[in-house]
A and B are shown apart, each in its own frame.
Chain A
């Protein structure tokens, strides 16, 4: 049986797939519940909605957009196989896509690795994340480059930074306390794992070395990454 609401990370945000067979009201209620359950993970995400073959009139699409916006999410792209839905999206000034493929990344700096097994998803970013950039992933995130102050990574799984971590990272964003964060130089402005939050101590003359952060005894600890 198909889930009514399916959410997964894509290179430019989140893809929400809505079952075209189920009643619209049921689906939107379920979507709202799903988002509210994990508002920390969703906050600020760029959303692509796939409505499949369902013809969605403008007022329904508009209420869906409002539903997302009330929760701090922005609806960017509508994917559909229905002409009606595409027209509704155009009327609301949304980008549209007929294909089921992921929309082209606006910036082209994110790359998705195809999952090796169902349920695991990872994102590889091959360059420095500068201020203002946010990455959401339902899986793990690997950055080859720095994460500058003002950049943010939110991952359900682990986060590995092959570079300097100076921004904000939230690993285990859905509550996985076994999630870890690794970086070659670990000085995040804030580090979160599951529901725990830590900031970097202000140390002068700190020795730069690869470190790994994890939860132990209900607090975030950082140790040498070997």
Chain B
């Protein structure tokens, strides 16, 4: 066992949210969790999507659930008992959502309390937010030190991300950082898809990662082995890079294809624009 380099004594709580559903919040949460755990960091993932839990499936931990987030909140178990240890990484845990209740089973204050209990012993707490802007979103964002906004390069997803950024600003959670997921460089080149620059022009917040469309993601999620464990996957590399950037490393952005012109353009606006 490698002893991790001792980092700050208090965990950073990071919430992954998007507004729109299906843009890749859960995939992002799972992959960042695994990528950070691979860096020998202690990580707890919390699925805040009560009633529609998914993160356990993507993490391959569905059949190990005994207690869930609502059990913790309602005092049926200790926090520790609801934390499922990952099969491969002993310092990676998942607190699953309840499948039978709805978002009102947990309050924003409950989430703050749980995160405060976790802070002394872990490096990262990553919360997978439900879609929408209602109670579930507010629960997920309440304890956050930082928010990652996931969007796809599509007008509707960007519109919802814009709404989310506005709400985050209103709640003094900062503008958040942006992950553009499922970008298809070919389509961007043909002008059929919004480019990272187009998305950035509207949202005007810092981009922490651009994840290319990758056929490996769906089978990886289905099999419970997040794609970032697949060394050959471009999306996996992108998620690993996001994890390293989160952890303070200066990692250059992936060339999105062999066209250096596009890469140069993107890296130029990423370094210049903030």
Contacts and interface: CB of A to CB of B under 8 A. Distances in A.
Interface string B15-55: 00000000000000000000000000000000000000000
A131 B166 contact: yes
A106 B172 CA distance: 11
Q: Classify the interface of chain A: helix, strand, loop or mixed.
A: loop
A58 B155 CA distance: 45
Given A128-B204, A148-B202, A149-B202, A109 B169 contact: yes
B202 A132 contact: no
Contacts of B159: 131, 149-150
B160 A131 contact: yes
Contacts of A2: none
A133 B166 contact: yes
Contacts of B167: 132
B163 A132 contact: yes
B169 A150 contact: no
A29 interface: no
Interface in B115-164: 155, 159-160, 162-163
B165 interface: yes
Interface in B192-245: 202, 204
B1 interface: no
B163 A131 contact: yes
A107 B163 contact: no
B162 A106 contact: no
B8 interface: no
A130 interface: yes
Contacts of B2: none
B129 to A, nearest CB: 17
A107 B170 contact: yes
B165 to A, nearest CB: 6
B204 A109 contact: no
Contacts of A166: 202
B190 to A, nearest CB: 14
A133 B169 CA distance: 12
A109 B162 CA distance: 16
A109 B170 contact: yes
A148 B170 contact: no
A127 B175 CA distance: 12
Contact of B163 (A106, A109, A146, A150): A150
Nearest to A166: B202
Contacts of B169: 107, 109, 127, 130
Contacts of B162: 130-132, 148-150
A193 B31 CA distance: 49
Interface in A83-109: 106-107, 109
B191 to A, nearest CB: 10
A146 B166 CA distance: 12
Interface string A144-172: 00101110000000000000001000000
A162 to B, nearest CB: 15
Interface in B70-107: none
A64 B211 CA distance: 52
Most buried by B among A107, A130, A148: A130
Contacts of B170: 106-107, 109
A109 B172 CA distance: 11
A132 B170 CA distance: 12
A37 B128 CA distance: 47
Contacts of A127: 169
A172 to B, nearest CB: 26
Contacts of B155: 149
A107 B170 CA distance: 5
Interface of B: 155, 159-160, 162-163, 165-167, 169-170, 202, 204
Given A130-B163, A130-B166, A133-B166, 10 more contacts: A107-B169, A130-B162, A131-B162, A131-B163, A132-B166, A132-B167, A146-B204, A149-B155, A150-B159, A150-B162
26 contacts: A107-B170, A109-B170, A127-B169, A128-B204, A129-B166, A130-B162, A130-B163, A130-B165, A130-B166, A130-B169, A131-B159, A131-B160, A131-B162, A131-B163, A131-B166, A132-B167, A133-B166, A146-B204, A148-B162, A149-B155, A149-B159, A149-B162, A149-B202, A150-B159, A150-B162, A150-B163
User: 5 smallest A-B Cβ distances: which pairs?
Assistant: A130-B166, A107-B170, A131-B162, A131-B163, A132-B163
